[in-house]
Every structure is written in structure tokens, then in C-alpha cells.
Amino acid sequence: ALAAGASLINDQWGLKHDPRLAELAAERGVPIILMSNQRDRGGYDGSIKRDTAYYTDVVAEVISSLRKSLKLALERGVPWENLILDPGIGFGKTWQQDLELIRRLEELKELGRPILVGPSRKSFIGLALGLPVEERLEATAAAVAIAIVKGADIVRVHDVQAMVRVCRLSDAVIRSAQGV
């Protein structure tokens, strides 16, 4: 993907399955997104049941998982400034745990790296509100705005134009209030 023009690496396994991705990121000098993902607890094929809670405290365990991924990346030469963290909303968590992650997202800021979230059209929205995927735009906008309020630095979305507006207004309210 880098040879085709990609400007970063997105590792949905947080270096658990292929730590060589960190070496590649270091060698190429590109950022790497490290996701916390326990989906493989149900099998590498992602067969975890969405209603199965594997976490005692989802936020604390995600922080611990991301801390391990950060350590691996740094040990393999990725510069600190090239590390981005993703709590893995929708990956190996129940919909209630996804909501808890968004609610407590600011706790991930203790790790000192930018936080990326990808709530767009996710199943937690459908399960919480009983909506099919094609009717999740407004709820995605709410999740994006709340994530920004709670400390998200980067969002991954499908409906770009609408979400750019949500992000700009959220940033205007939050960042200007913080003197940024």
C-alpha cells in the first residue's frame, strides 16, 4: 500500500499479529495507527460474539493494550511522533462497551498520543437505536461530536462532507474554549 501512495499504516491488531509493521513504519518514516482489538479472542477469523463481554473494565484494558502496542512500536524504531492510537470501537467489544469507550475517551489521553476513532455507521449505533446501517448518519454525527468533546483528534468516517462540518463546529466550540 505504501508503494501505491499510502501515507500511513493502519494496524487493526496493534502489532499483536505482525510486529514487522512497526519496522516498516520506522523504515519508511510514516505514521502508524495502533488499534486495540480483542476480536481475535473468538478466533483469528474475528468470530467473537458481539454480545460477549471479555473486559472487566473496557477502558482500562484498552489503555493497557495500547500501552503494550506503543512499547512494541518504540522498541522497533517508530518515532514517538509517528504513533496514533485507536481504541477499536466496533472491534471485539459489545455495543455497550463501545459506548463506554466513547463516554470515557478522555482517559486515553494519558497515553500522550493522538486518538483516532471510527464510529461511522458502526453496529453499536444500530444496536443502541435499532437503526439499519443506511439510517445512521445523525447518530454517527452525534458520536463524532461527542468523541471530539472527549478528546478524539482524528475521526474515520464514511460521510465526509457532513462529518467535516460536525468536526469543524465541534472543534470551534471545544478548541476555542480551551484556548487552542
User: Please, which pLDDT band fits residue 73 given cuts at 50, 70 and 90?
Assistant: very high
pLDDT tens digits, one per residue of 112-153 = 999 999 999 999 999 999 999 999 999 999 999 999 999 999
| Number of other residues whose CB lies within 10 A of the CB of residue 159 | 15
CA distance 128 to 36: 22
| Number of other residues whose CB lies within 10 A of the CB of residue 5 | 6
- pLDDT value, residue 1: 79
Let me know if residue 128 belongs to a domain. Answer: yes
- pLDDT value, residue 177: 65
Residue 52 has pLDDT above 70, yes or no: no
Phi, psi (rounded to 5 degrees) for 160: -60, -50
Phi, psi (rounded to 5 degrees) for 33: -95, 125
Let me know if residue 24 belongs to a domain. Answer: yes
**67: number of CA atoms within 13 Å, CB side?**
11
CA distance 81 to 106: 19
Instruction: Print the domain residue range for 35.
Output: 9-177
Counted domains in the chain: 1
Let me know if residue 4 belongs to a domain. Answer: no
Let me know if residue 52 belongs to a domain. Answer: yes
Let me know if residue 22 belongs to a domain. Answer: yes
Domain with residue 97: its CATH number is 3.20.20.20
Residue 104 has pLDDT above 60, yes or no: yes
User: Please, which pLDDT band fits residue 44 given cuts at 50, 70 and 90?
Assistant: very low
Distance from the Cα of residue 155 to its chain's centroid: 8
Which DSSP symbol is given to 115?
B
Let me know if residue 58 belongs to a domain. Answer: yes
Let me know if residue 49 belongs to a domain. Answer: yes
- pLDDT value, residue 92: 86
Average pLDDT of the chain to the nearest whole number:
89
Let me know if residue 3 belongs to a domain. Answer: no
